[in-house]
């Protein structure tokens, strides 16, 4: 943008010629290219930015490909010394805007949710998102960890030399995010190339998805439309009461000082309580506490489970537990969340990831809003900091026992289906069955144990795990499991069959036929093979729940768009829960409608039920 070199350096011309890549520096060239883009059924798009945070990133340039090997790059913000004069970005974007916003012009990209954010910063609403190769490759194999563009190019395209150069560039990109300092000579071969590769990859990957009509439905009808929904959720963000968090911060700091003082008094030693290594020395050498459990690397564990047990005999572990609890909440939430508030919006903007889990669940990061505390008192106080804007309230709607219902549906077990059909308290019903006792006589402890069994089943139950969870003997746990499978024989058969299927075909499926590959199912290592068997049991259940809530998000978003715009915003998804910001004038309407929509997201052999509540904050909404 500084220099006035109108003509391209000769060595750049050479690159252009070889790869048919074009660098756009003149207005007329862009006009011509826009016509080329319009002439294509689909084109690929790739945005280059100066930041990984979507709320802060600015465009450095943008590239497009229309056919294999035919791609171009429009730089606007390369400002290294002697950079050639580049087109004015406002002018470029004004020319591209109609094309980018036209829903009838199909686009393919890599992680287009990011491009949506970037373009939104420039007042452009990207429409016509037809394909996303990041998501497509995850649909094909959710177990693979290599979903980045370079790895996909290595897997799907057989251009070895191309890939090597790309890897080099990628490494450079990781080290430094100063793309504006990269010269055009360096950038052209890969900025345009990324667009080229995205288009080439799309042709390969989508062909594989098309082969399977059910995979195609998940991809086309769930995942692709979900991109825009997640984009909106991220961009909307959630309002945080940082004054409340700061107040807790102050109180907790005081309590932590007290705890430190008490701990040092007992141990007669000032040490870093956060250091597991130092704590190990104190507990198991100085204090001579018995070693209850070892970590995978063979060192004595100081985990909560161990400290709980030691706390039965000594006063110190209880102090450590409280210290741990407080420091965790302090650093992860109370101190972290206020720092994450965006200066412009005053809200927190998480990132939802569509391709980070094997089962099809979403994940959330920066910050993670799917692990906000709720299980203890202080945790719920943190949750109180999630609030609604003036005249709005927080509405939370979550599925009731969705995973157990799915297990009943998938297995077809008569007994479990019946229990749900009759609207019974499922844990009481389980306890009554296992113990052969009338449901009215089930105690709290018996219900609690049955609940642990029900959870265990979803995790691919083992006597060891259940015994540990309930603090009972392995023998006793095995008795429970045996009695459960006797009463719910359909569940037993379902799980046996799932192990067989997983072994035979190497993958399992959700209700909607999303695939989860289990490469370890044939491992010679028995530990790994057993772990894969448990995943084989868990994945269809967890994955079906993920599919269902994604469908629900689409249904609800459609209703919001056409019937409740400006009055309802979808803010968060926490696996079986959707959280909304709702105008006070339509709280009851929204609550009822959203429950109906969520409950209709899938037709199972038993009803799908939700619980809903609203309040001033996320805690009140529970």
Q: Smallest distance from the beta carbon of 589 to DNA, in angstroms?
A: 25
Residue 547 partner contact from DNA, Mg ion, none using kind-dependent CB cut-offs of 5 to 8 Å:
none
CB nearer DNA, residue 3 or residue 293:
293
Residue 456 partner contact from DNA, Mg ion, none using kind-dependent CB cut-offs of 5 to 8 Å:
DNA
- CA dist., res. 266 & res. 211, Å (int): 67
- CA dist., res. 55 & res. 412, Å (int): 47
Q: Smallest distance from the beta carbon of 458 to DNA, in angstroms?
A: 7
Q: Smallest distance from the beta carbon of 398 to Mg ion, in angstroms?
A: 4
Q: What is the b/e burial string over 497-534, where b = at least 16 CB atoms within 10 angstroms of the residue's CB?
A: ebbebbeeeebbbbbbebbbbbebbeeeeeeeeebbbb
Residue 520 engages Mg ion in binding (rule: CB under 5 A): no
Q: Smallest distance from the beta carbon of 535 to DNA, in angstroms?
A: 4
Q: Smallest distance from the beta carbon of 597 to Mg ion, in angstroms?
A: 17
CB nearer DNA, residue 17 or residue 145:
145
The phi-psi region of residue 128 (left if phi > 0; otherwise alpha if psi is between -120 and 50; otherwise beta) is left
- CA dist., res. 515 & res. 534, Å (int): 16
Q: Smallest distance from the beta carbon of 320 to Mg ion, in angstroms?
A: 32
CA atoms within 13 A on the CB side of 271: 18
CB nearer Mg ion, residue 242 or residue 576:
576
Residue 242 engages Mg ion in binding (rule: CB under 5 A): no
CB nearer DNA, residue 305 or residue 588:
305
Residue 479 partner contact from DNA, Mg ion, none using kind-dependent CB cut-offs of 5 to 8 Å:
none
Residue 106 partner contact from DNA, Mg ion, none using kind-dependent CB cut-offs of 5 to 8 Å:
none
Residue 576 engages Mg ion in binding (rule: CB under 5 A): yes
Q: Compute the Cα dihedral for 349, 355, 356, 357 and give only its sign.
A: positive
CB nearer Mg ion, residue 227 or residue 553:
553
CB nearer DNA, residue 428 or residue 463:
463
CB nearer DNA, residue 153 or residue 572:
572
- CA dist., res. 376 & res. 326, Å (int): 11
The 8 Å CB, 24+ separation contacts for 420-423 are 420/606, 420/607, 421/606, 421/607
Q: Smallest distance from the beta carbon of 276 to DNA, in angstroms?
A: 4
Q: Are 552 and 577 in contact (CB under 8 A)?
A: no
Residue 539 partner contact from Mg ion, DNA, none using kind-dependent CB cut-offs of 5 to 8 Å:
DNA
Q: Smallest distance from the beta carbon of 559 to DNA, in angstroms?
A: 22
> What residues from 552 to 571 belong to the interface with Mg ion (CB under 5 A)?
none
Q: Are 241 and 385 in contact (CB under 8 A)?
A: yes
CA atoms within 13 A on the CB side of 56: 9
The alpha-helical segments, DSSP class H, found in 330-375 are 336-339
Residue range at the interface with Mg ion (CB under 5 A); choices 24-32, 322-330, 349-357, 575-583: 575-583
Q: Smallest distance from the beta carbon of 548 to Mg ion, in angstroms?
A: 13
The phi-psi region of residue 93 (left if phi > 0; otherwise alpha if psi is between -120 and 50; otherwise beta) is alpha
Residue 575 partner contact from Mg ion, DNA, none using kind-dependent CB cut-offs of 5 to 8 Å:
DNA
CB nearer Mg ion, residue 180 or residue 359:
359
CB nearer Mg ion, residue 223 or residue 577:
577
Q: Cβ-count burial of 110 within 10 angstroms (0-12 exposed, 13-18 middle, 19+ buried)? A: buried
The set of residues, in sequence order, having a beta carbon less than 8 Å from that of 608 and lying 6+ positions away, is 399, 402, 405, 548, 598, 599, 600, 601, 602
Does the bond joining 364 to the residue before it have cis omega, within 30 degrees of 0? no
Query: Both ends of the chain: CA-CA distance in Å?
Result: 54
Residue 460 partner contact from DNA, Mg ion, none using kind-dependent CB cut-offs of 5 to 8 Å:
DNA
Q: How remote is the C-alpha of 354 from its chain's centroid?
A: 6
**Which SS3 state, helix, strand or coil, does residue 610 take?**
strand
Query: Binding mask 376-415 vs Mg ion (x if CB under 5 A, - otherwise)?
Result: ----------------------x-----------------
Q: How many residues bind Mg ion (CB under 5 A)?
A: 2
CB nearer DNA, residue 455 or residue 559:
455
Residue 296 partner contact from DNA, Mg ion, none using kind-dependent CB cut-offs of 5 to 8 Å:
DNA
Residue 272 partner contact from DNA, Mg ion, none using kind-dependent CB cut-offs of 5 to 8 Å:
DNA
Residue 84 is encoded by which pair of tokens?
Answer: 């050639």
CB nearer Mg ion, residue 348 or residue 548:
548
Q: Are 359 and 507 in contact (CB under 8 A)?
A: no
Residue 530 partner contact from Mg ion, DNA, none using kind-dependent CB cut-offs of 5 to 8 Å:
DNA
Residue 563 partner contact from DNA, Mg ion, none using kind-dependent CB cut-offs of 5 to 8 Å:
none
* Chain positions contacting Mg ion, by CB under 5 A: 398, 576
């Amino acid at each position: 943008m500084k220099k006035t070199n109108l003509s391209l350096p000769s060595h750049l011309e050479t690159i252009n010629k070889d790869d048919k890549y074009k660098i756009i520096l003149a207005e007329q060239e862009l006009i011509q290219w826009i016509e080329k883009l319009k002439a294509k059924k689909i084109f690929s798009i790739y945005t280059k930015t100066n930041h990984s945070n979507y709320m802060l990133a600015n465009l450095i340039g943008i590239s497009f490909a229309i056919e294999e090997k035919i791609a171009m790059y429009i730089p606007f913000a390369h400002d290294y010394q002697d950079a050639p004069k580049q087109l004015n970005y406002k002018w470029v974007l004004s020319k591209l805007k109609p094309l980018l916003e036209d829903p009838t012009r199909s686009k393919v990209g890599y992680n287009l949710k990011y491009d949506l954010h970037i373009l939104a910063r420039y007042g452009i609403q990207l429409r016509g998102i037809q394909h996303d190769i990041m998501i497509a490759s995850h649909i094909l194999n959710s177990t693979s960890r290599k979903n980045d563009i370079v790895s996909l190019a290595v897997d799907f395209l057989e251009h070895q030399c191309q890939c090597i150069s790309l890897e080099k560039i990628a490494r450079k990109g990781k080290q430094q995010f100063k793309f504006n300092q990269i010269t055009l000579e360096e950038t052209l071969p890969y900025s345009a190339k990324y667009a080229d590769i995205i288009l080439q990859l799309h042709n390969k990957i989508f062909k594989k998805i098309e082969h399977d009509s059910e995979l195609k439905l998940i991809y086309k009808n769930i995942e692709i439309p979900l991109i825009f929904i997640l984009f909106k959720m991220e961009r909307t963000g959630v309002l945080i009461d940082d004054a409340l968090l700061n107040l807790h911060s102050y109180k907790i700091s005081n309590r932590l000082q007290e705890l430190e003082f008490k701990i040092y008094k007992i141990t007669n030693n000032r040490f870093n309580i956060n250091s597991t290594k130092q704590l190990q020395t104190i507990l198991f050498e100085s204090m001579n506490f018995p070693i209850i459990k070892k970590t995978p690397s063979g060192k004595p564990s100081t985990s909560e489970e161990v400290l709980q047990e030691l706390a039965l005999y000594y006063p110190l572990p209880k102090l450590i537990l409280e210290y741990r609890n407080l420091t965790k909440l302090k650093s992860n939430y109370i101190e972290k969340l206020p720092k994450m508030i965006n200066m412009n919006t005053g809200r927190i903007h998480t990132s939802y990831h569509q391709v980070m889990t094997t089962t099809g669940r979403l994940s959330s990061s920066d910050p993670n809003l799917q692990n906000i505390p709720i299980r203890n008192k202080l945790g719920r106080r943190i949750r109180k900091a999630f609030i609604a804007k003036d005249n709005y309230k927080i509405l939370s709607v979550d599925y009731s026992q969705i995973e157990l219902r799915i297990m009943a549906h998938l297995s077809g077990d008569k007994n479990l289906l019946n229990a749900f059909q009759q609207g019974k308290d499922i844990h009481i019903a389980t306890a009554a069955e296992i113990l052969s006792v009338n449901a009215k006589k089930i105690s709290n402890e018996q219900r609690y144990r049955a609940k642990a069994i029900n959870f265990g089943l979803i995790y691919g139950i083992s006597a060891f795990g259940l015994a540990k969870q309930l603090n009972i003997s392995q023998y006793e746990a095995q008795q429970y499991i045996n009695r459960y499978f006797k009463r719910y024989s359909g569940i037993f058969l379902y799980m046996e069959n799932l192990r067989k299927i997983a072994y035979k075909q190497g993958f399992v499926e959700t209700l909607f036929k999303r695939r989860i590959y289990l490469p370890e199912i044939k491992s010679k290592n028995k530990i790994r093979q057993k772990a894969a068997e448990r995943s084989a049991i868990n994945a269809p259940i967890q994955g079906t729940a993920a599919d269902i809530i994604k469908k629900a998000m689409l249904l609800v978003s459609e209703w919001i768009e056409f019937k409740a715009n400006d009055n309802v915003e979808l803010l968060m998804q926490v696996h079986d829960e959707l959280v909304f910001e709702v105008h006070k004038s339509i709280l009851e309407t929204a609550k009822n409608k959203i429950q109906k929509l969520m409950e209709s997201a899938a037709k199972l052999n038993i009803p799908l039920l939700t619980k809903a509540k609203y309040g001033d904050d996320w805690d009140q909404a529970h």
